[in-house]
Amino acid sequence: MSDAQTMTLEEREATLGGVGTARKRKEDVRFIQGAGNYVDDVKLPGMVFGDFVRSPYAHARIKSINAEAALAVPGVKAVLTAADLKPLNLHYMPTLAGDVQAVLAEEKVLFQNQEVAFVVADDRYIASDAAELVEVDYEELPPIVDAFKAMDEGAICLREDIQGKTEGAHGLRKHDNHIFEWEIGDLEGADKALADAEVTVKELITYQRVHPSPLETCASIASMDKIKGELTVYGTFQAPHVVRTVASLLSGIPEHKIRVIAPDIGGGFGNKVGVYPGYVCSIVASIVLGIPVKWVEDRIENLSATAFARDYHMTGELAATKDGKITGLKCHVLADHGAFDACADPTKWPAGFFNICTGSYDIPVAHVSVDGVYTNKAPGGVAYRCSFRVTEAAYMIERMIDVLAQKLEMDPAELRLKNFVQPAQFPYNSALGWEYDSGDYPTAMNQMMQAVDYAGLRKEQAEQRDKVARGESRSLMGIGVAFFTEIVGAGPSRNCDILGVAMFDSCEIRVHPTGSAIARLGTKSQGQAHETTYAQILATEIGIPSEDIGIEEGDTDTAPYGLGTYGSRSTPVAGAAAARVGRKIRAKAQKIAAHLLEVAEGDLEWEIDRFKVKGLPEKEATMKEIAWAAYNNLPEGMEPGLEAVDYYDPPNMTYPFGAYLCVIDIDIDTGESAIRRFYALDDCGTRINPMVIEGQVHGGLTEAFGIAMGQEIAYDELGNVQGASLMDYFLPTAVETPIWETDFTVTPSPHHPIGAKGVGESPNVGGVPAFSNAVIDAFSHLGVKHMPMPHTAWRVWKQCQELGLTK
């Protein structure tokens, strides 16, 4: 008898390591030993290196570029400028948002550190030395730094390449510096709700420009084999298949002759969705030179030139009754997109899914409009650990709820409870057009309030406020509540595509004769533990232990086409494909089992890792046996092998939610905030791996903490980017990071094959308003309605000073 036959059910479940198991992260074995394989670890024979000449100015006309001195440096292979790219029509590249972005600046530079020339040399040192020798003659122009001034009458036109064009990718352009206006909802209804309301509130809420700042910066290696006509590109790509398609469309090289490989990626958080000039220049240089060209950006380049996030100026308005029932929402957003609209959203969504901004509340009528404008700042607008513009939406509504609560003199938790979409209302159609799949908000909120003793905290806060008033303490206590609803898992082909490619995803599996398997997916992990969790989904479906299922992603020659990993879409989309591909395998396995056991298919039942004959429990066929039989003992007429592929077009998005609470203590004299407690309850539906979920929540909360308390890509009045280094840009270390308490409820998604919703981004979406609300709540009794993020010590101190609290 084999081990498999003597094991108890529990032992077999444990061996399986399927859905619900806190399986250790398989990929960590190599990551924590320094044995990962990142782009910069890839070294190809004969490889040379590229480095950029970048603009020192935010806005200037390029009068001339002289590369003679650079080209004279021994070891320099080439210096590319826009003049070299223009004949190839590659001096501009299309963006995901329907705009174009300069690969190398042609006539003008539009943001500081914009790419002007690309120097290729035998090593990075020579490339950097030579880049310093490229002489660029600039004529400085006045920059537009303040988005609110971009559309002023007489404002200088930034984008001369589209000057006078009144029609953009998303409709009418009202000004040369206007990109689009996007509108949704019932304007008349929302205006009427506000006009008729017993109580209204209005607040300008700015979500500052930040940067995803993954530890690994962006990088690529292009290798053109001129004999075979084949291009291989290694890169930091969250969506390698889309990169292949775009590379083919841009270069004219047939898609089957392009291989894109995303090896291990050291964090993405949205930074690695877009296509950057460095990728294009390394490809062009390799095509020109016929040798591999590597480009790796440094930290300053990463922070200052690639893919910022947010920069949304949101004016929210709520209408409500005196007793706190919200009757309408209106929001206008001024969106600062920088010099090019390189926002990474599904093509038809210029402001992403910002219209999730009714949040967790049953708001009968709402209207949103978004104006996108150009400024002299770096392009981007990526979804930094969130679904497209969802964290902006959540921040706006969760702040506005607190502003309303203050006006109503009502507890913010109570106001939320009063306005929640109720469990019986699901599937819930929001006023701005989404169909929320499932949720139980009151249960989650009440569980949170009990876990933290919410009433006790408020009592303590009142006592602490008295102490401060009596001069017995110099510490203010703030309690931040946030209840978020996300929209993730883009997305259904009816409304989501990237440059025309529907946002499905895929899984392909081969079960080997000895009962192990390899599965490949169209997504790409950047640290999310796909190798661990996809194997668990498959294990549960096909009865092969997760340890025996290899997972591969990121090589377009081997993996099925997929749209990549961002917007928490891996589990909702590719995870669904994995479940469905497993079901295809199991269906074939059932036929083989019936053949092996000489019974009808319908006489079989599934149990963990095998089929059993109903009523005859000793008659069984394990998946190991079935896998072997698939290659040598099949029912007549059945094709050998045990393989399947599934492309999954989700019927709907998924809507994870959660209840967060933050307790903060503020030192009045320095403005420093100490996070005393942070509790996070997440409902992501079916939980595939509780340990991975907890890790995701810890990471997302740490980023949310960074954003709310310190991160900002700021510019001075000349458009000089401030503090683009990790000295100034706040990445919390273990010392600053608070202790996280995590909790959960489980409300499965009704449409996802295993009911899972995605979790990686929830803590960023819910965390930011929880921190911000806590800081502002500390001052709410003094009449403070809003304070701008990031809540750095000096800004908080300034608030204390304005209130006359400082000495």
User: Cβ–Cβ contacts within 10 Å for residue 139, how many?
Assistant: 10
Q: How far apart are CA 127 and CA 49, in angstroms?
A: 7
Collect all residues with Cβ–Cβ distance below 8 Å to 227 and sequence separation of at least 6.
Answer: none
Residue 288: closest CA among 458, 142, 85: 85
Give me the least distance between CB of 12 and another protein, in Å please. Answer: 47
Strands 135-140 and 92-94 come out as unpaired
- Could you tell me if 85 and 93 are in contact, meaning their C-beta atoms sit under 8 angstroms apart? no
Which one of residues 672, 676, 677, 690 is an interface residue with another protein (CB under 8 A)?
Answer: 672
Does the annotation count 385 as an active-site position?
yes
Q: Indicate whether 700 belongs to the interface with another protein (CB under 8 A).
A: no
Q: How far apart are CA 346 and CA 334, in angstroms?
A: 20
Q: What is the DSSP string of 158-227?
A: S-GGGTT--EETTEE-SSTTEEEEEEEE-HHHHHHHHHH-SEEEEEEEEEEEE----SS--EEEEEEETT
Q: Indicate whether 52 belongs to the interface with another protein (CB under 8 A).
A: no
Q: Indicate whether 166 belongs to the interface with another protein (CB under 8 A).
A: no
Give me the least distance between CB of 670 and another protein, in Å please. Answer: 6
Q: Indicate whether 730 belongs to the interface with another protein (CB under 8 A).
A: yes
Give me the least distance between CB of 219 and another protein, in Å please. Answer: 13
Q: How far apart are CA 422 and CA 439, in angstroms?
A: 8
What does the longest C-alpha to C-alpha distance in the chain come to?
A: 90
The answer to whether the Cα torsion of 746, 747, 751, 757 is positive or negative is: negative
Q: How far apart are CA 222 and CA 339, in angstroms?
A: 27
Which one of residues 139, 188, 669, 802 is an interface residue with another protein (CB under 8 A)?
Answer: 669
Does the annotation count 741 as an active-site position?
no
Sole window of 114-122, 600-608, 640-648, 723-731 interacting with another protein (rule: CB under 8 A): 723-731
Give me the least distance between CB of 209 and another protein, in Å please. Answer: 14
**Residue closer to another protein, measured from CB, 489 or 671:** 671
**Residue closer to another protein, measured from CB, 388 or 771:** 771
Q: Indicate whether 732 belongs to the interface with another protein (CB under 8 A).
A: yes
Q: Which of 238, 461, 464, 590 is catalytic?
A: 238
Q: How far apart are CA 270 and CA 252, in angstroms?
A: 27
How far, in Å, are 177, 311, 518, 573 from residue 655 at the CA level?
35, 24, 30, 13
Q: Which of 106, 761, 799, 800 is catalytic?
A: 761
Site for another protein in 295-314 (CB under 8 A): 298-300
Collect all residues with Cβ–Cβ distance below 8 Å to 616 and sequence separation of at least 6.
Answer: none
Give me the least distance between CB of 116 and another protein, in Å please. Answer: 17
Q: Indicate whether 722 belongs to the interface with another protein (CB under 8 A).
A: yes
- Could you tell me if 702 and 696 are in contact, meaning their C-beta atoms sit under 8 angstroms apart? no
Sole window of 538-546, 682-690, 747-755, 786-794 interacting with another protein (rule: CB under 8 A): 786-794
Give me the least distance between CB of 56 and another protein, in Å please. Answer: 13
Q: Indicate whether 128 belongs to the interface with another protein (CB under 8 A).
A: yes
Sole window of 8-16, 123-131, 203-211, 571-579 interacting with another protein (rule: CB under 8 A): 123-131
**Residue closer to another protein, measured from CB, 350 or 671:** 671
Give me the least distance between CB of 723 and another protein, in Å please. Answer: 4
Does the annotation count 464 as an active-site position?
no
**Residue closer to another protein, measured from CB, 301 or 497:** 301
Q: Indicate whether 723 belongs to the interface with another protein (CB under 8 A).
A: yes
**Residue closer to another protein, measured from CB, 51 or 625:** 51
Q: Indicate whether 132 belongs to the interface with another protein (CB under 8 A).
A: yes
Site for another protein in 314-353 (CB under 8 A): none
Sole window of 135-143, 237-245, 371-379, 730-738 interacting with another protein (rule: CB under 8 A): 730-738
Give me the least distance between CB of 59 and another protein, in Å please. Answer: 23
The count of residues interacting with another protein (CB under 8 A) is 31
Q: Indicate whether 735 belongs to the interface with another protein (CB under 8 A).
A: yes
Q: Which of 12, 54, 385, 586 is catalytic?
A: 385
Site for another protein in 485-514 (CB under 8 A): none
- Could you tell me if 517 and 705 are in contact, meaning their C-beta atoms sit under 8 angstroms apart? no
Burial of 433 (0-12, 13-18, 19+ CB in 10 A): middle
Which amino acid makes up residue 471? G
The answer to whether the Cα torsion of 52, 58, 61, 64 is positive or negative is: negative
**What kind and span of H or E run contains 461?**
helix 454-469
Sole window of 202-210, 328-336, 537-545, 722-730 interacting with another protein (rule: CB under 8 A): 722-730
SS3 state at 416: helix
Q: How far apart are CA 548 and CA 550, in angstroms?
A: 6
Which one of residues 457, 513, 792, 805 is an interface residue with another protein (CB under 8 A)?
Answer: 792
Which one of residues 599, 676, 798, 803 is an interface residue with another protein (CB under 8 A)?
Answer: 798
Q: Indicate whether 670 belongs to the interface with another protein (CB under 8 A).
A: yes
- What is the CA 598 to chain-centroid distance, rounded? 51
**Residue closer to another protein, measured from CB, 117 or 608:** 117
Give me the least distance between CB of 402 and another protein, in Å please. Answer: 26
Rounded to a whole number of angstroms, the distance between the first and last alpha carbons of the chain is 81
Q: How far apart are CA 495 and CA 516, in angstroms?
A: 38
Q: How far apart are CA 200 and CA 214, in angstroms?
A: 41
Collect all residues with Cβ–Cβ distance below 8 Å to 80 and sequence separation of at least 6.
Answer: 104, 117, 118, 120, 281, 284, 285, 288
Q: Which of 218, 331, 386, 800 is catalytic?
A: 386
Which one of residues 462, 469, 794, 802 is an interface residue with another protein (CB under 8 A)?
Answer: 794
- Could you tell me if 527 and 557 are in contact, meaning their C-beta atoms sit under 8 angstroms apart? no
Q: Indicate whether 733 belongs to the interface with another protein (CB under 8 A).
A: yes
- Could you tell me if 581 and 508 are in contact, meaning their C-beta atoms sit under 8 angstroms apart? yes
Pair of tokens at residue 413: 């938790």
**Residue closer to another protein, measured from CB, 323 or 669:** 669
Does the annotation count 416 as an active-site position?
no
Sole window of 35-43, 536-544, 607-615, 670-678 interacting with another protein (rule: CB under 8 A): 670-678
Q: How far apart are CA 565 and CA 466, in angstroms?
A: 50
**Residue closer to another protein, measured from CB, 217 or 742:** 217
**Residue closer to another protein, measured from CB, 1 or 739:** 739
- Give the per-residue SS3 of 230-273: EEEEEECCCCHHHHHHHHHHHHCCCHHHEEEECCCCCCCCCCCC
**Residue closer to another protein, measured from CB, 125 or 148:** 125
Give me the least distance between CB of 11 and another protein, in Å please. Answer: 45
Sole window of 125-133, 161-169, 285-293, 531-539 interacting with another protein (rule: CB under 8 A): 125-133
Q: Indicate whether 425 belongs to the interface with another protein (CB under 8 A).
A: no
Which one of residues 13, 28, 183, 736 is an interface residue with another protein (CB under 8 A)?
Answer: 736
Give me the least distance between CB of 797 and another protein, in Å please. Answer: 6
Q: Indicate whether 51 belongs to the interface with another protein (CB under 8 A).
A: yes
Sole window of 180-188, 370-378, 425-433, 664-672 interacting with another protein (rule: CB under 8 A): 664-672
Burial of 2 (0-12, 13-18, 19+ CB in 10 A): exposed
Give me the least distance between CB of 132 and another protein, in Å please. Answer: 7
Q: How far apart are CA 283 and CA 413, in angstroms?
A: 54
Q: Indicate whether 475 belongs to the interface with another protein (CB under 8 A).
A: no
Q: Indicate whether 793 belongs to the interface with another protein (CB under 8 A).
A: yes
Instruction: Give catalytic residues, as residue numbers.
Output: 238, 385-386, 761
Contacts to another protein by CB under 8 A: 51, 124-125, 127-129, 132, 298-300, 669-672, 710, 714, 722-723, 727-728, 730, 732-733, 735-736, 792-794, 797-798, 806
